[in-house]
Amino acid sequence: MSGQQIRKVAVIGAGLMGHGIAQVSAQVAGYEVALLDVKQEFVDRGMSMVRDSLARFVSKGALDGQKADAVLARIRPTTDMKSALEGAQLVIEAATEDPKLKLELYRRVSDHLAPGAILASNTSSISITLLASATTSPDNVAGMHFFNPPQLMPLVELIRGAKTSDATIETIRGVAKQMGKETVLCKKDSPGFIVNRILVPALNEATLLVNEGVADPEDIDKAITLGLNWPMGPLKLLDYVGLDTALGISEVFMSELEDSKYRPSPLLKRMVRAGLLGRKSGKGFYEWGSPSSTKAK
């Protein structure tokens, strides 16, 4: 079964992932994009990150200035949900990784969606079936999990909920291809899907090594980059992902899979409570200088 043709996309959440998804949607796929968040300051920050990212593409010669301006012109920032969702054939949700917040959001979004519009979640771990239950058309709900940063990472995990239709999967597969991405299909709605089911326990184990005083963060990251050929060490990766995001995923795993091996480390909990969230807060396992800086000190 073939999917529908997408022309307009709405992205909910202008944060670390949402702004990147909006940029890829406009820059690579050429879609008209509405970028929605609850506060103007969040929208402004998201657009600032898009401008900074485009400037880096221009400085590296990967994009010319005129095309960068055209990309910006295709992204419409807003705090008005009704306006953002009007005419959108695909809504990609990249809100905070909180099940209660997302369920309430899905109930509200469902009231504004056009008939046949697809709602895709960028969730890292929350059940697509659960999220779909808060809508009036669960067959049009699926997972579309991007990786950080969406502008550069080539993979999108597609996740099928219990009631997701074949047409919905084919549509988002086509969208991902239009964005220049490779896709994998998670056939079963399992927490963490494919990548995070493997990755998050490994990241948590790295924080346990620090907590137990086995090695310093720099040596743990050096061991994994050189010993396992990872492009980035687990603790630096945690700083990029956000320690709060990783903690949230671990807690979902603990709840859904009922297995103690997913229990988040005490150090991870302490750091999140202290606001040491990684790159987005300016400090995590590494000093980043300023929020959203791309280089550790």
Say yes or no: 18 and 139 in one domain.
Answer: yes
Domain count of the fold of the chain: 2
**Is 80 exceeded by the pLDDT of residue 4?**
no
pLDDT tier for residue 33 given thresholds of 50, 70 and 90 = very high
Per residue in 267-278, pLDDT tens? 999 999 999 999
Say yes or no: 145 and 212 in one domain.
Answer: no
Classify residue 145: in a domain, yes or no. yes
Say yes or no: 112 and 240 in one domain.
Answer: no
Classify residue 2: in a domain, yes or no. no
Q: Which domain holds residue 35?
A: 8-186
Q: What is the pLDDT of residue 292?
A: 53
Angle at 281 between CA 23 and CA 286, to 5 degrees: 105
| pLDDT, mean of residues 93-112 | 93
Per residue in 160-170, pLDDT tens? 999 999 999 99
Per residue in 210-259, pLDDT tens? 999 999 999 999 999 999 999 999 999 999 989 998 998 898 888 888 88
Say yes or no: 236 and 158 in one domain.
Answer: no
Domain stops at, among 156, 186, 216: 186
Classify residue 259: in a domain, yes or no. yes
Classify residue 245: in a domain, yes or no. yes
Say yes or no: 96 and 231 in one domain.
Answer: no
CATH number at residue 34: 3.40.50.720
Q: What is the 3-state secondary structure (H, E, C) of the chain?
A: CCCCCCCEEEEECCCCCHHHHHHHHHHCCCCEEEEECCCHHHHHHHHHHHHHHHHHHHHCCCCCHHHHHHHHHCEEEECCHHHHHCCCCEEEECCCCCHHHHHHHHHHHHHHCCCCCEEEECCCCCCHHHHHCCCCCHHHEEEEEECCCCCCCCEEEEEECCCCCHHHHHHHHHHHHHCCCEEEEECCCCCCCCHHHHHHHHHHHHHHHHHCCCCCHHHHHHHHHHHCCCCCCHHHHHHHHCHHHHHHHHHHHHHHHCCHHHCCCHHHHHHHHCCCCECCCCECCCECCCCCCCCCC
Say yes or no: 171 and 234 in one domain.
Answer: no
Active site residues: 124, 145, 157, 196
Say yes or no: 218 and 141 in one domain.
Answer: no
Say yes or no: 20 and 115 in one domain.
Answer: yes
Say yes or no: 40 and 130 in one domain.
Answer: yes
Classify residue 192: in a domain, yes or no. no
Say yes or no: 225 and 152 in one domain.
Answer: no
Domain stops at, among 186, 209, 242: 186
pLDDT tier for residue 261 given thresholds of 50, 70 and 90 = confident
Say yes or no: 147 and 182 in one domain.
Answer: yes
CATH number at residue 245: 1.10.1040.10
Q: Count Cα neighbours of 116 within 13 Å in the Cβ-side half-sphere.
A: 8
Q: What is the pLDDT of residue 294?
A: 55
Per residue in 40-80, pLDDT tens? 999 999 999 999 999 999 999 999 999 999 999 999 999 99
pTM for the model stands at: 0.85
Domain stops at, among 139, 156, 186: 186
**Is 50 exceeded by the pLDDT of residue 1?**
no
| pLDDT, mean of residues 86-115 | 94
Say yes or no: 50 and 182 in one domain.
Answer: yes
Classify residue 78: in a domain, yes or no. yes
